[in-house]
Amino acid sequence: MPEIHVDSLVKQFGEQRALDDVSFDVAEGELFTLLGPSGCGKSTTLMSIAGFQTPEEGRIEVGGDVFYDAARRVSVPAERRNLGIVFQSYAVWPHMTVFDNLAFPLRVRKTKRAAIRPRVVEVLDLVEMGPYIDRYPHQLSGGQQQRVALARALVYSPSVLLLDEPFSNLDAKLRERARAWVKELQGRLGLTTVFVTHDQDEALSMSDRVAVMSQGEVQQIGTPEEIYRRPTSRFVAEFVGNVNLLTGEVAATERGRIALEIAGGRKLWIDSERAQQPRAQVTVAVRPEALRLEAAETSTLNGSNTLDATVRSVAFLGDHYQYELETGDLSLTAQTPRAVFAERVKVHIPADACAIVE
Amino acid sequence: MAQVTTTTYEPVAPVRRSRSLPTAGSLQWLVWLVVVGLILGPFIPLVYASIRDRPLYEAGGAFTAGAYRDLLSDTAFWHAALHTLEYAALTTTLSVVAGGAIAILVARTDLPWRKALGRLTLLPLLLPSLGIVLGWIVVWGPGGYLSSLVHTHLHLGTLDINTIPGMSVIEATRLLPVAYMTCEAALARADSSLEDAARSAGSSPIRVLRSITIPMLRPALLNSGTLIFTLSIASLGIPLLLGTQHNIQFLSTYLYLQWTNGATPDSPLVSAGAMLLLLVATLLLLLRNRMLGAEARYISVAGKAGRTAMLSLRMWRWPLAIVVALYIVFSTLVPVIGLALMSFVAFLTPLIAPWHLFTWSNWHILGSGIYLRSIEHSALLALIGGLVTTALVALATLVAHRSKLPTRKSLPFVMLYPRAIPGLIIGIGFFWAYLLTGAPGSWLRQGIWGILLAFCIRNLPFAYVVMYPTMARIGEELDRAGRSVGAGWWRTCRSIVLPLLKPALFASFVLMFVEILNDYDPALFLVRPGTEVIGTTMLDTFLQGIVGPVASLAMVQVGVTVIVLAIGTLVLKVRVTGGHDA
């Protein structure tokens, strides 16, 4: 039942449009991520679902309950929405022990005294914090506080879990472990979850679906693969990882593919379901690791979509090498897992790796 | 990590709410109304009284600007205004210059004992000001102990404290801590690497002081200067005790004496004068608020100021430390010792050794009559006032900073307002307010509770200023977390915000207790036989020429203040001086 429907949210902060017609649906049990740079409206959207921000227009419905409806002037107070939230700062109450932090939501709900402790213990075990039940927050590490915050958000079995950049205060190593762990727990409990982050790796690795936001608007909604491989806009292509953007004029159209005339009069064939007007300006995005790179002398690369290029610089980045290439007056970035030791190279741009962006 | 735990993930019962309880919104409105009503309410009858042609308790009457005309055509009023201006200007200059200098010495140099000297500089804020003034008179007044001693043995004249400059010096020692605190706080906030940068660019320490440190202090100096100016315009104690006997009138004493000795008591003239004073004080407050806004550009956001680099004073270290120490001794310690001595002798004179004049009578007399009554009243008011004000201000601070009430933004300004208003205006305002509100008003007027209310309102800004910084440090996500797990506004405040505010609540109570115990000027307009408090009794008794019991009463105030503060700092671990740079 707990599906989330967010419909045409609009919110204005002075002159600034914080939310501009934001709509999306989250299916039951899904982990849905709002991804975007700071100030893009992702947190405002999350806090609107939670009830701490009130949009000016739109509608929010969770599991059949209308939480907010501008047209009908409905706005359920935050405390009656029965959502679990993990805040960026964790917001574990410093004057209460771990037990009291978890017991508080149950006491608010007038749970019988005898039932509180077993439930708290059960949920603490779930987040593997059982031994810390009598500690105060200042006696816990950041990662442990985060687990307590999560446990507190789960202890009253809310219909939906909201996560507001919960990993941003953890160091890199811990963050990776926490992600895997939260994802696993979310899947096991089948919790419908909305997750906010500015970290693309986090979004791609954890989500069932991602909504990329910019300047108060949803740019694209899709699975992590779709978002990464088939971005529909320049912004999404550039925000989610490195990208080469190539602009050209439509020179030829065939079934399922088109040819672009790019800098230097060269032709680039790309797969395209949509037909394009002849001579239309089109920009395509292609990921650096999708390019194939070989030393010019020994290369077997040939035919269409293959360009001669000069290596301007090489950087070793641990698990791969990154090349800045120049071909004519076109600059390209390429990545390979193994080093290519040559100044003159051939680059192949696979037709199916190119996504047309707006 | 991979440990598999099974859990019954079934919903706990949803939040149940009884419909009969008042909503958070109505509680917030109630708090707002009470606070705004109590603070601004008394000014309405004051305005009304100033534009009637006769006192409000007389029947009939018509609207007129006559009171203002009379006031502005009275030469005595203009003399008083001039005296007040001279007095306030001198006081402000003295306390800002000296307070700023001590702040720089304490915060930026290697002055010996700087921490202790800094703390002692703050003492006059918390000691009963009326008592300290009496101490000054006993020691330095005409025929005072030390002034006679210096005169007979050294054949030197001392500063005559019955003149305007003399009075300004005493007032300046009372208000200097305000400048000191503001400047010290500004210096502590400012990143000392700004000064290090100037040093490494080749400036001498003196040059750094002149070109960097002092310009950086400018907003703090202006801000505290304006507050001190406002407070010295409003000062009643020193002008009344020292000025009136020598026929130097100030605005405050002019109004007070018109009120008590005028041909028609409580005349519209006094209300008109109070209105003018209120207008000036309000304008100064608005000016100060604007300056605080402009202060933002002086705040260096360099992050953590590391260990403050100390400016070396070299050969001046000890001489300067001694100067500051002597200032503290003469401004605070000597008057208190003078008072203590005075309370144990029949009369104080350098001609006869004090032990020949020893007597318990000044202390005995406190056990009966008006003296006992005043002490009991003051203690009761301080206790109840401390509790009530702390509770009310805590609620109002929650509404101001932790609610969605549409009018919440007005609360901080309203709560700081009484700090800028002369105590005598609050006294007159409440006098008229009680007179015009029928039975509840007259019940308040008959007993000590009317005085309590005026004291609470007068001192409430201190409670707010103590509470606000602590409240601001409690992250908003902590109460959002409370709301998200199902607790309403009031439950969240009660279970999460208020417990975290506890240290500030204790500090507020201690500060309010001390302030109310030592306050007096609003009460001068509300007191009647049977409702005296320590301050009014001291003033009355002194003006009748009786000094001994006044000294012992002042010592009671000093003693209780010191004990309460000691308990506060040692047992409750509170910092109570925080409120005075409001």
The answer to whether A134 touches A60, Cβ cutoff 8 Å, is no
Interatomic CA distance for residues B397 and B384, integer angstroms? 20
Residues of B in contact with A104 (CB under 8 A): 482, 485, 487, 495
Q: B416: distance to nearest CA of chain A, Å?
A: 28
Interatomic CA distance for residues B582 and B285, integer angstroms? 11
Cα B200 to the chain's mean position, in Å?
A: 42
Q: Do A79 and B478 touch (CB under 8 A)?
A: no
Residues of B in contact with A128 (CB under 8 A): 1, 3, 5
Interatomic CA distance for residues A42 and A195, integer angstroms? 9
Maximum average pLDDT range among B22-26, B59-63, B505-509: B505-509
Q: How many Cβ pairs closer than 8 A exist between chain A and B? A: 106
Interatomic CA distance for residues A95 and A104, integer angstroms? 12
Cα A188 to the chain's mean position, in Å?
A: 21
Q: Does the beta carbon of B493 lie under 8 angstroms from any beta carbon of chain A?
A: no
- Taking the CA atoms of A290, A295, A299 and A301 in sequence, report the sign of the dihedral they define: positive
Chain segment A117-147, per-residue pLDDT in tens:
999 999 999 888 999 999 999 999 988 999 9
The SS3 of residue A195 is strand
Q: How far is CA B550 from CA A250, B134, B463, in A?
A: 101, 8, 29
What pTM was estimated for this model as a whole?
0.83
| Listed residue (A134, A101, A145) closest to B487, CA to CA | A101
Q: Does the beta carbon of B486 lie under 8 angstroms from any beta carbon of chain A?
A: yes
CA A345-A348-A349 angle, to 5 degrees, is 140
Beta-ladder partners of A66 = A61
Decide if pLDDT at B13 tops 70: no
Residue of B480, B486, B500 lying closest to A105 (CB–CB): B486
Q: How far is CA A262 from CA A271, A281, A328, in A?
A: 16, 10, 10
Question: Which residue in chain B is spatially nearest to A112 when comparing CA positions?
Answer: B13
The answer to whether A227 touches A210, Cβ cutoff 8 Å, is yes
Q: Do B12 and A106 touch (CB under 8 A)?
A: yes
Neighbours of B33 (CB within 10 A): 11
Beta-ladder partners of A246 = A284
Question: Which residue in chain A is spatially nearest to B7 when comparing CA positions?
Answer: A122
| pLDDT number for residue B301 | 40
Q: Does the beta carbon of B495 lie under 8 angstroms from any beta carbon of chain A?
A: yes
Cα of first residue to Cα of last residue in chain B, in angstroms, is 53
Interatomic CA distance for residues B222 and B224, integer angstroms? 6
Strand-by-strand arrangement of the A57-62 sheet? A16-26, A4-13, A57-62, A65-69, A74-75
The SS3 of residue B485 is coil
Q: B485: distance to nearest CA of chain A, Å?
A: 5
Q: Which of residues 116-145 of A touch B (CB under 8 A)?
A: 119, 122-123, 125-126, 128
Interatomic CA distance for residues A130 and A120, integer angstroms? 9
Q: Which of A28, A79, A97 to mutate to test the interface with B (most CBs of B within 10 A)?
A: A79
Decide if pLDDT at A218 tops 50: yes
Query: CB-hemisphere CA count at 13 Å for A353?
Result: 17
Residues of B in contact with A78 (CB under 8 A): 480, 483-484
Q: How far is CA B452 from CA A53, B520, B565, in A?
A: 42, 11, 21
Interatomic CA distance for residues B565 and B126, integer angstroms? 9
Q: Do A152 and B481 touch (CB under 8 A)?
A: yes
Residue of B475, B480, B496 lying closest to A52 (CB–CB): B480
- Measure the CA dihedral B22/B27/B33/B36, to 10°: 170
Q: A317: distance to nearest CA of chain B, Å?
A: 30
Residue of B5, B7, B481 lying closest to A91 (CB–CB): B481
Chain segment B494-519, per-residue pLDDT in tens:
999 999 999 889 989 998 999 999 99
Q: Do A153 and B3 touch (CB under 8 A)?
A: no
Q: Does the beta carbon of B473 lie under 8 angstroms from any beta carbon of chain A?
A: no
Burial A208-227 (b: 16+ CB within 10 A, else e): bbbbbbbebbbbbbbebebb
DSSP notation for B47-89: HHHHTBSS-TTSS---B-SHHHHHHHH-HHHHHHHHHHHHHHH
* % of chain B at pLDDT higher than 90: 30
| pLDDT number for residue A1 | 52
Q: What is the ipTM of this complex?
A: 0.81
Beta-ladder partners of A314 = A323
- Residue B15 DSSP code: P
Total count of residues recorded for chain A = 358
Beta-ladder partners of A311 = A325
Beta-ladder partners of B145 = none
Confidence band for B22, pLDDT divided at 50, 70 and 90: low
Q: A94: distance to nearest CA of chain B, Å?
A: 8
Burial of B303 (0-12, 13-18, 19+ CB in 10 A): exposed
The answer to whether A256 touches A276, Cβ cutoff 8 Å, is no
Sequence letter at residue A314: V
Query: Which H or E run contains B273?
Result: helix B268-294
Q: Does the beta carbon of B12 lie under 8 angstroms from any beta carbon of chain A?
A: yes
Chain segment B444-491, per-residue pLDDT in tens:
888 899 999 999 999 999 899 888 888 888 888 998 999 999 998 999
Mean pLDDT for the stretch of residues A61-70: 92
Residue of A80, A104, A156 lying closest to B495 (CB–CB): A104
- Measure the CA dihedral A273/A277/A283/A286, to 10°: 30
The answer to whether B354 touches B344, Cβ cutoff 8 Å, is yes
Decide if pLDDT at B296 tops 70: no
Mean pLDDT for the stretch of residues B252-262: 84
Confidence band for B302, pLDDT divided at 50, 70 and 90: very low
CA A64-A67-A72 angle, to 5 degrees, is 100
User: Which domains can be identified in chain B, with CATH numbers?
Assistant: 1-40+360-582 (1.10.3720.10), 65-332 (1.10.3720.10)
Tell me how far apart the 2 most distant CA atoms of chain B are, in Å.
Answer: 95
| pLDDT number for residue B20 | 43
Q: A194: distance to nearest CA of chain B, Å?
A: 15
Question: Which residue in chain A is spatially nearest to B501 when comparing CA positions?
Answer: A95
Q: Do A109 and B15 touch (CB under 8 A)?
A: yes
Question: Which residue in chain A is spatially nearest to B485 when comparing CA positions?
Answer: A105
Q: Which of B3, B485, B490, B502 to mutate to test the interface with A (most CBs of A within 10 A)?
A: B485
Interatomic CA distance for residues A308 and B45, integer angstroms? 91
Decide if pLDDT at B86 tops 90: yes
Q: What token pair was written down for A130?
A: 């059982």
| Listed residue (A113, A100, A158, A50) closest to B12, CA to CA | A158
Q: B359: distance to nearest CA of chain A, Å?
A: 54
Interatomic CA distance for residues B224 and B99, integer angstroms? 10
Question: Which residue in chain A is spatially nearest to B25 when comparing CA positions?
Answer: A77
| pLDDT number for residue A114 | 92
| Listed residue (B168, B237, B199, B154) closest to B424, CA to CA | B237
The SS3 of residue A11 is strand
Interatomic CA distance for residues B314 and B111, integer angstroms? 9
Q: B475: distance to nearest CA of chain A, Å?
A: 8
Confidence band for A5, pLDDT divided at 50, 70 and 90: very high
Q: Does the beta carbon of B13 lie under 8 angstroms from any beta carbon of chain A?
A: yes
Q: Does the beta carbon of A321 lie under 8 angstroms from any beta carbon of chain B?
A: no
Residues of A in contact with B12 (CB under 8 A): 106, 109, 111, 119, 155-157
The answer to whether B5 touches B385, Cβ cutoff 8 Å, is no
Decide if pLDDT at B198 tops 70: yes
Q: Does the beta carbon of B263 lie under 8 angstroms from any beta carbon of chain A?
A: no
Interatomic CA distance for residues B145 and B149, integer angstroms? 6
Q: Does the beta carbon of A85 lie under 8 angstroms from any beta carbon of chain B?
A: yes
Q: Which of A92, A102, A104, A112 to mutate to test the interface with B (most CBs of B within 10 A)?
A: A104
Q: How far is CA A297 from CA A108, A291, A340, A342, A344, in A?
A: 74, 18, 11, 9, 8
| pLDDT number for residue B262 | 67
Q: Do B485 and A93 touch (CB under 8 A)?
A: no
Q: Do A95 and B499 touch (CB under 8 A)?
A: yes
Confidence band for B19, pLDDT divided at 50, 70 and 90: very low
Lowest mean pLDDT segment, chosen from A77-81, A205-209, B307-311, B470-474? B307-311
Q: Does the beta carbon of A169 lie under 8 angstroms from any beta carbon of chain B?
A: no
Q: Between A296 and A321, whose confidence is greater?
A: A321
Burial of A25 (0-12, 13-18, 19+ CB in 10 A): middle
Chain segment B127-150, per-residue pLDDT in tens:
888 888 888 888 888 777 787 777
Residues of B in contact with A108 (CB under 8 A): 15, 485-487, 491
Q: What token pair was written down for A330?
A: 């076109």
Please provide the average confidence, as pLDDT, over all residues in chain B.
84
Q: Do A111 and B12 touch (CB under 8 A)?
A: yes
The answer to whether B189 touches B387, Cβ cutoff 8 Å, is no
Q: Angle between the B334-343 and B129-140 helix axes, to the nearest 10 degrees?
A: 80
Q: Do A88 and B1 touch (CB under 8 A)?
A: no
Chain segment B203-239, per-residue pLDDT in tens:
777 788 888 888 888 888 988 899 899 989 988 888 9
Residue of B3, B483, B496 lying closest to A79 (CB–CB): B483
Q: Which of residues 38-57 of A touch B (CB under 8 A)?
A: 50-52
* % of chain B at pLDDT higher than 70: 90
Q: Do B13 and A52 touch (CB under 8 A)?
A: no
For chain A, what is the radius of gyration of the CA atoms? Answer: 25
| Listed residue (A245, A243, A216) closest to A228, CA to CA | A243
| pLDDT number for residue B415 | 92
Q: Does the beta carbon of A87 lie under 8 angstroms from any beta carbon of chain B?
A: yes
Q: Does the beta carbon of B18 lie under 8 angstroms from any beta carbon of chain A?
A: no
Interatomic CA distance for residues B239 and B247, integer angstroms? 10
Cα of first residue to Cα of last residue in chain A, in angstroms, is 36
Q: B565: distance to nearest CA of chain A, Å?
A: 26
Chain segment A89-103, per-residue pLDDT in tens:
899 999 999 999 999
Interatomic CA distance for residues B334 and B351, integer angstroms? 19
Interatomic CA distance for residues A120 and B487, integer angstroms? 18
Q: Where are the alpha helices (DSSP H) in A193-290?
A: 200-206, 224-229, 234-239
Residue written as token pair 């108060």: A216
Question: Strand A83-86 relative to strand A344-348: parallel, antiparallel, unpaired?
Answer: unpaired
Sequence letter at residue B208: V
Residues of B in contact with A125 (CB under 8 A): 5, 7
| pLDDT number for residue A2 | 65
Q: Between A36 and A171, whose confidence is greater?
A: A36
CA B27-B28-B29 angle, to 5 degrees, is 90
Contacts of residue B38, defined as CB under 8 A and 6 or more positions apart, other chains included, come to: B453, B457
| pLDDT number for residue B266 | 63
Cα B452 to the chain's mean position, in Å?
A: 16
| pLDDT number for residue B294 | 58
| Listed residue (A212, A219, A218) closest to A58, CA to CA | A218
Interatomic CA distance for residues B77 and B33, integer angstroms? 37
